[in-house]
């Protein structure tokens, strides 16, 4: 459904992405992980048309979209949330989501009344019905994250890109968010999930792509990817990997401890 081909993104002298390729199959959940500054948000920006990649191509349902402006990408069925949330601060929560329902992929076919009916459904679904009439600027952090998701869902995406929507949530809120995302996926939306919370990303992703310093360093099933030495090194540093190897050698060389008498 989505094919990233040798994508490079350069900012001045810095390649935020370099020669990154991967594919996303329709109906699946892909986790995109990597240390801070590894290029995850930049990849979201390239896919959603916020940035035109310096190199490479993005194909969506067989169509090249690297040159397509972001509002058209949205109409084609790709929606995203923003890591730094971007509500219309002066509009109410309901109006924020309503804009999406009127403007997104199916928006042109909807009357204002239908758009707000869809909006109310979504507010209920993400748990924001209780603050529907409040200005978006009043919301707490978890509610701002919920609003990001509701705004994106209002665009009726086929693919939804989620950039750290679970950051700042407590454990039970993370569980709720995971349940919500699984439900969205079961209703047919393909997901690309960027998240630092390893437990969450491991439990929700079918496949994981790992970026480090703009390059793809691993891809595969969650358990395979997280046991890869390259991934452990990218997260914890070369010294940690060396220390672990030395520790293993020391244990292998040492005779087993005497059992207590």
Residues near ligand ATP, by CB under 6 A: 11, 14, 16, 34, 36-42, 83
- 41 counts as binding Mg ion under rule CB under 5 A: yes
Nearest Cα residue to 222 out of 33, 10, 65 = 33
Q: Which CB sits closer to ligand ATP, 94 or 145?
A: 145
Minimum distance, C-beta of residue 195 to Mg ion, in the bound complex (Å): 10
Residues 32, 144, 136, CA angle at the centre, nearest 5°? Answer: 145
To the nearest whole angstrom, how small is the minimum distance from the Cβ of residue 160 to Mg ion?
16
Q: Could you tell me which stretch among 18-26, 37-45, 86-94, 171-179 binds Mg ion (CB under 5 A)?
A: 37-45
Nearer residue to Mg ion within complex by CB, 102 or 191: 191
153-181: b (≥16 Cβ within 10 Å) or e: bbbbbbbbbbbbbbeebeeebbebbbebb
Separation between Cα atoms, residue 1 and residue 177, nearest integer Å? 25
Smallest distance from the beta carbon of 42 to ligand ATP, in angstroms? 3
Asked whether position 119 contacts Mg ion by CB under 5 A, the answer is no
Distance CA 237, CA 231 (A): 9
Site residues for Mg ion, 71-90, by CB under 5 A, read 83
Compute and round to an integer the Cα radius of gyration of the chain.
Answer: 21
- Report what 11 binds from ligand ATP, Mg ion, none; CB cut-off 5-8 Å by kind: ligand ATP
In the complex with ligand ATP, the residue whose CB is nearer, 36 or 170, is 36
Q: What is the dihedral of CA 66, 106, 167, 38, to 10 degrees?
A: -10
Nearest to 218 by CA among 203, 202, 207, 206: 207
Q: Counting contacts by CB under 5 A, is residue 45 touching Mg ion?
A: no
Residue 34 interacting entry, from Mg ion, ligand ATP, none, C-beta within 5 to 8 Å by type: ligand ATP
CB of 91 to ligand ATP, least distance (A): 26
Distances (CA, A) of 180 to 141, 153, 177, 204, 248: 17, 12, 5, 11, 41
| Residues 34, 172, 183, 51, CA torsion sign | negative
CA distance 257 to 222: 35
Q: Is residue 42 a contact point for Mg ion (CB under 5 A)? A: no
Cβ nearer to ligand ATP, comparing 24 with 212 = 212
From the list Mg ion, ligand ATP, none, partner contacted by residue 36 (C-beta under 5 to 8 A by kind): ligand ATP
Binding site for Mg ion (CB under 5 A): 40-41, 83
């Amino acid at each position: 459904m989505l094919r990233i081909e040798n994508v490079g993104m350069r900012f001045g002298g810095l390649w935020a992405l370099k020669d990154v390729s991967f594919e996303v199959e329709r109906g699946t959940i892909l986790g995109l992980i990597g240390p801070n500054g590894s290029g995850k948000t930049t990849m979201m920006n390239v896919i959603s048309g916020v940035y035109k990649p310096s190199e490479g191509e993005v194909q969506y349902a067989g169509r090249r979209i690297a040159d397509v402006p972001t509002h058209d990408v949205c109409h084609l069925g790709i929606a995203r949330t923003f890591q730094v949330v971007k509500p219309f601060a002066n509009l109410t929560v309901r109006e924020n989501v309503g804009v999406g329902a009127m403007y997104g992929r199916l928006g042109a076919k909807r009357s204002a009344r239908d758009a707000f009916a869809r909006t109310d459904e979504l507010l209920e679904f993400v748990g924001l019905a209780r603050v529907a009439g409040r200005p978006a600027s009043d919301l707490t952090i978890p509610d701002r994250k919920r609003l990001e998701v509701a705004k994106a869902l209002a665009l009726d995406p086929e693919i939804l890109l989620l950039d750290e929507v679970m950051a700042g949530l407590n454990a039970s809120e993370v569980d709720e968010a995971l349940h919500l995302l699984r439900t969205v996926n079961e209703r047919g939306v393909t997901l690309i999930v960027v998240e630092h919370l390893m437990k969450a990303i491991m439990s929700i992703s079918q496949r994981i792509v790992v970026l480090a310093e703009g390059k793809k360093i691993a891809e595969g099933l969650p358990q395979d990817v997280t046991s890869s030495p390259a991934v452990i090194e990218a997260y914890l540093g070369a010294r940690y990997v060396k220390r672990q190897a030395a520790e293993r050698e020391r244990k292998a060389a040492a005779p087993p401890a005497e059992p207590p008498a």
